[in-house]
Structures are given as C-alpha cells and as structure tokens.
Amino acid sequence: MSFKEILGQEKAVALLKGAFLRGRASHAYIFVGPAGVGKSKAAISFAKLLVCPASRQAEPCDACPSCRKADAANHPDIQVLSPDGQFIRIDAVREACRRLSLKGFESSTKVLIISDGAALNDESSNALLKTLEEPAPDTVIIILATSLKAMVPTIVSRCQRIVFSSLQESVIFEVLRRDHGVGEDEAFYLSRISEGCMEAALRFHQEKVFMQRNRLAAAWMKGEVGLLGSQGRGASPKKESRQETEMALYLLAGWLRDILVAKISAEKKYFINADRIDDIMHLSRKLNPEVLEGALKLVAQTTADLKANVNMRLALARLNSELQKIA
C-alpha cells in the first residue's frame, strides 16, 4: 500500500508528504472526512513512510522488511486501535500509550492509528490526552473520524486536522471502469448513488444494485409501481431484510426524483438514472407532479420509520398502497 493508491485526495496527501519532507510531521493528526474515501489507506501509507528506512521522494520503498511488515499489519512500531464493541476500551488506550513511551523495536518512529475517533468515550479520551499533551519523542498518533462533533473537544484541539473530501463522480467512474471492468452505464449509475464513496460504489457493484434498479425500472414501465420490481401491482411486501428494503427505498427515491427533474430538464447530467432517460421522460409526461412529490415524501417518511424500528411490513404496505395511486 502506498499514497499512489489513494484517489482524489491530492491535497491531503500533499500535506502529509510535505510535512515528512520538511521533517515537520505533527505528533498528532485527525484525518476527517466521509467513510470510504481513503483515510485508512492514507494513515497506513503515512505510518509506513515514517518507519521506512529507505523512503524516496516521500514514498515508502515497498521493498524493505519494514514495508513488508507494515503491509502485513505486523510491524511492531505501528499500532492500530479499533473499537471493542461500541467504544475503544480505556485499558487498550493505556497499553497503546505505554508502548509509545518505549523505544521503538525496529524504527526510531512509533505510530498509533485510532480507527474511529467517535469510539473514544470520555474515559478513553482522558487516557489518551496525557500522551497528546506530553508526547514521547518520535511518536505520531493518527485518529480517523467521519465527524469532529462526536469527539471530545480537548482531543480535537490537540491534533492537526487533515481533511479528506468526498470523491468526485468522475474518479469513481474511472476506477470502476478501469480497475473493475464495470460496464459504462452501471459505472455511471454507481458513481451517482455512492455519494463520493469508493467503498460504497464497490459494495453496490458486488450486491448487484444496478440489476435491482433495472428490475424496478422495468416494473414501472409496465405499470407495476410497487417498491420492489419483482412485486408488481398490489402485491404484498416481500420478506426482505431491513437493509435490502432500505436500499430499495433509496433506489425508488432516486427514480421518483428523476421523473420530477424530467419535468424541467432533459439534460442527462442532471439525472441519477441517466441510462434510462427515455423511460424517465415517458413517465414524466404521463404522471402528475403533485402525486410524484407526495410519493417521494412518503418514501422519505417510510425510510425514517424503518430507521425508527416501525413495523416494516405495515410501513411497506402503506407505501405500496399509496404508490398504486400513481399508476
């Protein structure tokens, strides 16, 4: 693993490389940004660079024993702390800090990566705070976080922030096409619905979300406007898992949204389901915008109900009943 594998985060990577080249690496960082945009890869790559004895131009050599151990996640001077359940345990933080205070086993630099800053509760944060305030020489702590709001402010204030942005759709599209052989229409669709997250796009590809969307679209074109493409008109909700149902709602929301957008524009760049634009334009001419808006609001309400653990069968029955009014 190296910085070259991190896509769309040129600014963040440049800041880390610049600090290394100037010999000014901070004793503590927070890598903050959405999930699945390269924070973990950047943390491992930076740790690997810091302990590599043969780095070149702010890149680890990828050949020495140190780099191989880092890639195998068994370098003795790189620690990774992850939650045990909901939180990172206080004794795990204390042990990690104790090891940071010792001389490095193989490198003069010791690195601690905390995989989820939000999992540091008050007790474990306090255990970490002393090390942040009085860091041992040649130690670097990297905390990963999707948001700073869930973290203890005193921890945040003692770390340098490196911001990771959502990936551009063009980057996700290119990677899906080039590295994973995804078809053009599917790659475009996944790049739109993954909200800047490469991991989400790959997961959607593995879960065949594009095929599910196609079933949904085909059903709507036949006048079967239930939630799931295989249900058809008036069918009772299938026994889907909650996660699958939430995904179906997400796809349906995008479909309804595009039909509404088509009433004011026909430019493909504005559509999530751009590969089905002919179908969308046809439905847009046929369906009442006020009914569509009502359906979209009901989809949002149903999604919220499921997250609040409302009875899924009843929520979907109500939704499908209302959707029949569109046809």
DSSP string, 133-152: HSPPTTEEEEEEES-STTS-
Report the DSSP pairing between strands 28-32 and 78-81: unpaired
Q: Give the per-residue pLDDT at 237.
A: 45
Among 109, 132, 163, give the residue marking a domain's end.
Answer: 163
CA 243, 245, 247, 253 dihedral sign is negative
Which of the two residues, 230 and 307, has the higher pLDDT score? 307
Query: Is 90 a member of any domain?
Result: yes
Please check the confidence at residue 233 and state whether its pLDDT lies above 50.
no
Give the pLDDT score at 236. 43
Same domain, 153 and 214: no
Is there a single domain that holds both residue 245 and residue 317?
yes
Render pLDDT for 93-127 as a digit per residue (tens, 0 to 9). Answer: 999 999 999 999 999 999 999 999 999 999 999 99
Task: Verify that 243 and 305 share a domain, yes or no.
Answer: yes
> Stretch 199-227: mean pLDDT, rounded?
91
The residue with greater pLDDT, 99 or 227, is 99
Helices (H), 72-208: 90-100, 122-133, 153-156, 169-180, 184-193, 198-206
277 and 159 within one domain:
no
Distances (CA, A) of 237 to 212, 243, 248, 250: 16, 14, 12, 16
* pLDDT tens string 19-28: 999 999 999 9
Q: Is residue 281 part of a domain?
A: yes
Q: Is residue 301 domain-resident?
A: yes
Residue type, 74: N
In a domain, 196, yes or no: no
156 and 221 inside one domain: no
CB-based burial of residue 224 (10 Å sphere; 0-12 exposed, 13-18 middle, 19+ buried)?
Answer: buried
Q: Are residues 213 and 155 in the same domain?
A: no
Radius of gyration of the chain (CA): 24
The partner residues of 139 in beta bridges, in order of sequence, read 110
The pLDDT assigned to 228 comes to 57
* pLDDT for 230: 38
Mean pLDDT of 247-256: 94
Q: Which residues are within 8 A (CB) of 214 and not within 5 positions of it... i.e. 6 or more apart?
A: 229
Interval 63-71 mean pLDDT: 95
Q: What pLDDT, on the 0 to 100 scale, is given for residue 263?
A: 93
Could you tell me the pLDDT band of residue 322, with boundaries at 50, 70 and 90?
confident
Query: Number of folded domains in the chain?
Result: 2
The CATH number that applies at residue 319 is 1.20.272
Q: pLDDT tens across 175-189, in order?
A: 999 999 999 999 999
**304 neighbors 287 (Cβ within 8 angstroms):** no
Kindly report the average pLDDT of the chain as a whole number. 91
Same domain, 156 and 212: no
What's the pLDDT at 240?
Answer: 58
Is 104 within a domain?
yes
Instruction: Indicate whether 175 belongs to any domain.
Output: no
Check: CB of residue 39 under 8 Å from CB of residue 171. Answer: no
pLDDT at 231 > cutoff 90: no
Domain boundary among 128, 163, 198: 163
Q: Which of 79-93, 111-125, 180-194, 218-232 has the lowest mean pLDDT?
A: 218-232
Q: Are 280 and 259 in contact (CB under 8 A)?
A: yes
What amino acid occupies position 171? V
Q: Work out the average pLDDT over 266-282.
A: 93
pLDDT score of 229 more than 80: no
User: Do the Cβ atoms of 144 and 117 come closer than 8 Å?
Assistant: yes
Same domain membership, residue 214 and residue 139: no
> Is there a single domain that holds both residue 232 and residue 96?
no
> Residue 19 sits in a domain of what CATH number?
3.40.50.300
148 and 216 belong to one structural domain: no
Q: Which residue has the higher pLDDT, 260 or 314?
A: 260
Given a cut of 90, is residue 313 above it in pLDDT? no
Which residues neighbour 113 within 8 Å (Cβ) at sequence distance 6 or greater?
43, 44, 47, 78, 79, 80, 81, 141, 142, 144
Is 184 among the domain residues? no
Q: Which of 127, 143, 163 is the endpoint of a domain?
A: 163
Are 143 and 242 part of one and the same domain?
no
66 vs 229: which has the higher pLDDT: 66
Task: Show the domain range for 110.
Answer: 3-163
In terms of domains, do 222 and 153 share one?
no
Residue 189 within any structural domain of the chain:
no
Alpha carbon distance 158, 156 (integer Å):
5
